[in-house]
Structure 1
């Protein structure tokens, strides 16, 4: 079988690249050694949060633009599939309890009006004394006020991936339980772990943290690492959409399906890929301290996964140095679900330049930044 593009990895980056390639009219195959979204993309949290509006740079602008356009992207996916992905522009609350943090935040309020273009977009980043959500974030946790941003959103990561899979399945070839062994650019042969092969004009590597091994071999240096994250899911039925809460490294996300996700850790050193109960209970205890209505809520499931983080922190997107037909899109780490659609657009426009104004890809995302 011959394809215009073969994508390696069925996480959120691979799925998004496949959708963008399909939009170009390309014949696409998506290879996944396990099942779709079975790795880091199977997380529970789904907090879609903007960067704090300070020390502005290309990366922060890229994520801001991605978050703003995400509502339309989600609406079109839900219309095409008839499935909800649990998306809501719910906002974000961050409690303030030190003078230093308050002063730092107040300095950012004015800058946010410019960076977020509040007058046009309507999205704000403010410090308030109280919110309509006192039964959610307890006022006692925020003696100096609360950061309330109206740009942050949430989605259910597993539902997003499931929606993309449903959209793609009738339109491309999805090959689960099919390991990728290599790509010979001269012959166009893609070697598979089941002993078979495909023919492709180009290959895109989006294989999560395990994909860093071949990339590091090509670069002669470590390109990225796997960082463990853990989270848990509670049964908790809210009567309205509730904002994301962030405090002390912990996210609390109320989903539309009667659950609340709490997470997640960032562990650069780990031995087991499985959830550690001591860590789960510590996260739950922290969350209950600022969101006491969660006390006693039943734990439905625990999750742990290894997320791909580039050594130079930013995602890696583009043609691999020294290659002619092998591309990469990886390293989204915590913000993958917020930016994957925009990453995919950038990759397609680099492969197939068009007239008009292209989406700007930050220089720090490009392979030259990561491989040198």
Structure 2
């Protein structure tokens, strides 16, 4: 790997097979997968790799519910299953520790109707998840403090597919993997501000221009305005940022506890006794990086939900803006009308669970592979159609 400062110029150097804008979890996975496939890769990041929306510590890897199965749910399911092997490969290659563990998940049941719905899903999970993972309904949790038995008057769902990972650990492993690859170039302190698909050249914020075979836009919330410019849409038409806040507690909790999720509140036991709690979903906000009373409310609910953390001190707070595309699903694949330009954006809350498989899709498209296939609802064209419809209705 080579690393260039923002004052460097690539004039006279061979254009990379793949230029990637953004070094969050999506851009890093894409760089790793592309470099493994033998492509020359240049990754451009204006801040710190693994920052922005990827810089948190929740690390929840949870599936969609198993009923009404479709290609989107199947894509995520396969990604969650495969991630365990992907992380083992990264750890073996780099010696890093990602703190991945398949711990399952508990969902408290508050109503009789919710219990009946959960019971109906047992057969759906057996059909769609196969025999390896379970989706079960129990009268009480195994522990009275995880979650509070009083918060689950109709019992609980316990499923064994969900997992958790340390976001900092995974990002460090991805960066280490790239550092070992001679066909990878990292450019920090600059960003892609303009893309010319016809000349296959990108302009960077430091004034440099760089050619490319393909360019992938994986720059989080900023990706939406770049894709909008390339497709002639209003800048705010195809996606927006949703602020999230989370906290990390020193709870002396066992690391094998299942995730607990209830009505937007996540409680996730990590290594070293730490427990992550989150998260808010704020469509409007003044300061994208500030934590406030909204996080305090989440913490209050989490402490009631899981008495194990009732007195645990907060050791870190975090806030960041996560990208959500107009069609709600991630945005992945070729950008219509812009030859050689690819999108990998809008993962919102599920990026850490599916980014590796999204990267496989893009690399297969570049190299001529035929697997895996992305859901139609992930395509840029699908999101553009949603945006156009919204513009018509306004």
Q: TM-score range by the shorter chain?
A: over 0.9
Shift of 1:258: 2.6
Is 1:314 the counterpart of 2:329? The answer is: yes
Please name the residue that 1:159 is paired with: 169
**Could you tell me how far apart the structure 2 residues matched to 1:100 and 1:20 are?**
44
Aligned to 1:304: 319
Match of 1:185 among 180, 183, 197: 197
Could you tell me which residue of structure 2 aligns to residue 24 of structure 1?
Answer: 37
Which residue in the other structure is 1:291 paired with? 306
TM-score w.r.t. length of structure 2: 0.90
1:12–1:37 contact (8 Å) kept in structure 2: yes
Match runs of 1:5-44 below 5 Å = 5-44=18-57
Q: CA deviation at 1:20?
A: 1.2
Q: Which residue of 2 aligns with 1:46?
A: 59
Tell me the residue number matched to 1:224. Answer: 239
Q: TM-score, with normalisation over the residues of structure 1? A: 0.95
Tell me the secondary structure at the aligned position of residue 257 of structure 1.
helix
* Residues 1:76 and 2:89 are matched in the alignment: yes
Q: CA deviation at 1:202?
A: 1.4
- Distance, in Å, in 2 between the alignment partners of 1:155 and 1:286 is 23
Contact persistence 1:127–1:148 (CA under 8 A): yes
- Which moves more between the two structures, 264-273 or 242-251? 264-273
- Does 2:353 match 1:341? no
1:327 alignment counterpart: 342
- RMSD after superposition: 1.4
* Counterpart position of 1:148: 158
Does structure 1 conserve the Cα–Cα contact (< 8 Å) formed by 2:254 and 2:273? no
Partner of 2:289: 274
Count of residues paired in the alignment:
367
CA distance 1:193–1:293, change in 2 (3 Å): same
**What are the superposed Cα offsets for residues 68-113 of structure 1, whole Å, 9 maximum, x if unpaired?**
1111011111111111111000000111121121111111111111
The residue number in structure 2 matching 1:206 is 218
1:227 and 1:342 map into 2 onto residues whose CA distance is 23
Residue aligned with 2:272, SS: coil
Cα distance in structure 2, aligned partners of 1:270 and 1:62: 32
Query: SS of the residue aligned with 2:244?
Result: strand
CA distance in 2, matches of 1:7, 1:199: 12
| Distance across 2 between alignment mates of 1:238 and 1:260 | 7
How far has the Cα of 1:188 moved from its partner?
3.1
Q: Secondary structure at the match of 2:143?
A: coil
Other structure's SS at 1:268 match: coil
2:381 alignment partner in structure 1: 368
Q: C-alpha distance in 2, partners of 1:325/1:347?
A: 11
**Per-residue deviation at 1:327?**
0.9
Q: Which residue of 1 aligns with 2:388?
A: none
Q: Provide the residue aligned with 1:104 in structure 2.
A: 117
Rounded Cα–Cα distance in structure 2 between residues aligned with 1:140 and 1:188: 60
In 2 relative to 1, CA 240–260 (structure 1 residues): closer, same or farther, beyond 3 Å?
Answer: closer
Indicate if the aligned counterparts of 1:133 and 1:242 stay in contact, CA closer than 8 A.
no
Alignment-derived partner of residue 174 in structure 1: 186
Q: Does 1:196 align with 2:211?
A: no
Structure 1 residues 303-327: Cα deviation after superposition (integer angstroms, max 9, x where no partner): 1111010111111111110011111
- Structure-1 separation of matches of 2:144 and 2:163: 19
Q: Which stretch of structure 1 is more off in the superposition, 64-73 or 181-190?
A: 181-190
